[in-house]
Amino acid sequence: MVNTCQWGHNVRSCEESGRIARHGWLANLLPAPGGEELTRGFLQEVVDILLGYISKSSQRSSKVLDFHHPHQLKEGLECFSLDLPDQPETLEQILVDCRDTLKYGVRTGHPRFLNQLSSGLDVVGVAGEWLTSTANTNMFTYEVSPVFVLMEECLLKKMQSILGWSDDVGDGIFCPGGTISNLYSILVARYHFYPEVKTRGMGVLPQLALFTSEQVITPHTLLLTPYSSYVDNEWLYFHPFQSHYSVKKSAAVLGMGSENVFMVKCDESGKMIPAELESSIVTAKEKALVPFYVNATAGTTVYGAFDPLNAIADICQRYTLWMHVDVSVELFNFKYLFSRACSVTWNPHKMMGVPLQCSAILVKKRGLLQECNDFGAEYLFQTDKNYDVSYDTGDKSIQCGRHVDVFKLWLMWKAKGSEGFGSQVNKCLENAEYLYDQLQRRTDFELVLKNKPEHSNVCFWYIPPSLRGQPPGPDRDARLHQVAPRIKGRMMEKGSVMIGYQPLGDKVNFFRCVFSNPATQQEDIDFLLDEITRLGDI
């Protein structure tokens, strides 16, 4: 046991009452009578494990992960068994299970975890989640979540003011992730134009068309990889998606059909081309579809590109379309961009570093979320309660029960202030610029986009010695395509660093480095490039 002092207390007290603490059982914990000391001892042990994990995650000498293949973990490693028993296990075994779960997982807070836009381990955010899970309540009514419901209101108002929306128009709700937030935006847009859809369904509506950005997909004739496909005498990539993944998915869910999502062509840096948007709208109309919704992106997943929001807003205004902006970046430094949006997806679990999940859909038309989604279940939303029931906000949601995702954000906002979030993001942008500078200097790397990064994404190829000097062409591409996956595999097996890769359009597999982890320093960026070189040259 890690903390013999704490546990020792329990051993004594439990022996007195005839139980054996070191082999205590869940049934002896609270609410069992006399279970308080064992409960404190057990949770303290858990916390000691977690504190050790947090501390180790921040050390560069620790591995980012201890990789095992699925079959290895399933077979069971050193007494770590995933199997679910009929009979209870001892609390001692539960602590071992906790340790092993962390041991075989991925340290997303490690300074060298650069794999996802959600990374880092904010200590105050973690404290917020610990409290949230201890409070163990539900966002559906003020009755059971008085404080959290008010915190949500407070956060939404603040976020709306940052968007530049006036106090009396905005509305919103926190929901489980950015894709669901985007789904909400389509849902309320549809209801805004066609409120009858709620009761009567899509059958009474015209065929709707949606628009989002696409990376241009170029047929590639020679590359033979597991994810290419022979169609019409040409080898094609499977179409890689960038921003429209969630839009297509949501269109399918909402009964609109993914093929009615028009993917608007982008320029080389990944920005939607306004003229292309307009011509897509015209095309849709010619096909007797009714355009109603445009999803613009601020910070695309791979390139971190910003669509030209003002030009898109002009088009939306001209054609009376709902303009949604999916914001993957943080908003403190870019807020002026979003005042014309009808709705915004804001994901504090990305650049703001809030623990997963924390995402909000903000809607400029007050009351729309409620009208669109309410079905007034009487067993929850009684109107004859002893308080102002307008705070029973659960019926704005497509969920019934809703996890409390607001407290961690609220607590972090208290601890950082708006300014703290801003400077945290600036740090990430500096890291991106540093990486960009390094890549420019080195001959063994090649940037995917030549311009300075607009945001924290930097995309690049590593060119191994065998490919240097080889002329561009299908053969080089085919070989270059295999470099990133091979290096990534070695990285994971070694556990030294984690970074993502993917192909995009006519570009073969490249690394995407994305900075949102406040733990990452320049030395980690140096290490990343050196490590890629080491692993790539084998």
Q: Which of residues 369-408 bind a copy of itself (CB under 8 A)?
A: 373, 375-379, 382-388, 391, 398-404, 407
Least spacing, CB of residue 364 vs a copy of itself, in Å: 20
CA–chain centroid gap for 294, Å, is 21
The interface mask with a copy of itself, positions 18-57, x = CB under 8 A, is -------xxx-xxx---xx--xx-xxx-xx-xxx-xxx--
The interface mask with a copy of itself, positions 183-212, x = CB under 8 A, is x---x---------xxxxxxxxx-xx----
Rg (CA), the chain: 26
Bridge partners for 499 per DSSP: 114
Least spacing, CB of residue 500 vs a copy of itself, in Å: 7
Q: Using N-to-C axis directions, what is the helix angle for 36-57 and 4-16, rounded to 10°? A: 160
Least spacing, CB of residue 441 vs a copy of itself, in Å: 27
Contact 535, 129 (CB under 8 A): no
Residues whose CB is less than 8 angstroms from the CB of residue 221 and which lie 6 or more positions away in sequence, other chains included: 234, 235, 474
Least spacing, CB of residue 103 vs a copy of itself, in Å: 9
**Cα(306)–Cα(327) distance, rounded to whole angstroms?**
9
Contact 49, 2 (CB under 8 A): yes
Q: How many CB atoms lie within 10 A of CB 222?
A: 11
Residues whose CB is less than 8 angstroms from the CB of residue 81 and which lie 6 or more positions away in sequence, other chains included: none
C-beta of 280 vs 357, nearer to a copy of itself? 357
C-beta of 447 vs 492, nearer to a copy of itself? 492
Least spacing, CB of residue 174 vs a copy of itself, in Å: 11
Stretch that binds a copy of itself, among 89-97, 272-280, 465-473, 525-533 (CB under 8 A): 89-97
Which residues in 158-177 contact a copy of itself (CB under 8 A)? 158, 176-177
Strand runs labelled E in 228-327:
228-231, 234-237, 261-264, 290-298, 322-327
**Cα(345)–Cα(366) distance, rounded to whole angstroms?**
16
Q: Which of 502, 507, 515, 532 binds a copy of itself (CB under 8 A)?
A: 502
**Cα(68)–Cα(63) distance, rounded to whole angstroms?**
13
Least spacing, CB of residue 443 vs a copy of itself, in Å: 26
Q: Which of 509, 529, 531, 536 binds a copy of itself (CB under 8 A)?
A: 509
The interface mask with a copy of itself, positions 471-490, x = CB under 8 A, is -----------x--x--xx-
C-beta of 253 vs 311, nearer to a copy of itself? 253
Per CB under 8 A, 126 contacts a copy of itself:
yes
Stretch that binds a copy of itself, among 93-101, 163-171, 338-346, 444-452 (CB under 8 A): 93-101
Query: What value, to the nearest 5°, has the Cα angle with vertex 208 and ends 204 and 213?
Result: 160
**Cα(501)–Cα(441) distance, rounded to whole angstroms?**
21
Which residues in 332-371 contact a copy of itself (CB under 8 A)? 349, 355-357, 359
Please work out the total of residues on this chain that contact a copy of itself, with binding judged by CB under 8 A. Answer: 179
Q: How many CB atoms lie within 10 A of CB 486?
A: 14
C-beta of 1 vs 253, nearer to a copy of itself? 253
